[in-house]
Amino acid sequence: MNLYPSGARIAGRYEVAGAPLLGGMGIVYLCYDHQEQRPVGRRPAIPP
């Protein structure tokens, strides 16, 4: 399940850097945080 394509912006701050990865806690996206100027891992917030 790919909610965000590569290059998409999340909350105007995070840019998706590649395909999602499946971790022990679910889907994780490698993103670049433009406000902090560093790479981060982000999980999508999916309402119950």
All residues at 6 or more sequence positions from 3 whose CB lies less than 8 Å from its CB, including other chains? 20, 27, 44
pLDDT, position 31: 95
Residue 35 lies in a domain: yes
pLDDT, position 47: 62
H/E element holding 42? Answer: strand 38-42
pLDDT, position 48: 58
- Positive or negative, the CA dihedral 20, 6, 40, 3 is negative
Residue 2 lies in a domain: no
Residue 38 lies in a domain: yes
pLDDT, position 2: 73
Query: What stretches of 1-48 adopt beta strand conformation (E)?
Result: 9-10, 14-16, 21-23, 26-33, 38-42
Residue 20 lies in a domain: yes
Residue 4 lies in a domain: no
Domains in the chain, number: 1
Task: Give per-residue pLDDT as tens, 1-48.
Answer: 678 899 999 889 999 998 889 878 788 999 999 999 999 999 887 665
For residue 30, the enclosing domain spans 9-42
pLDDT, position 33: 96
Residue 48 lies in a domain: no
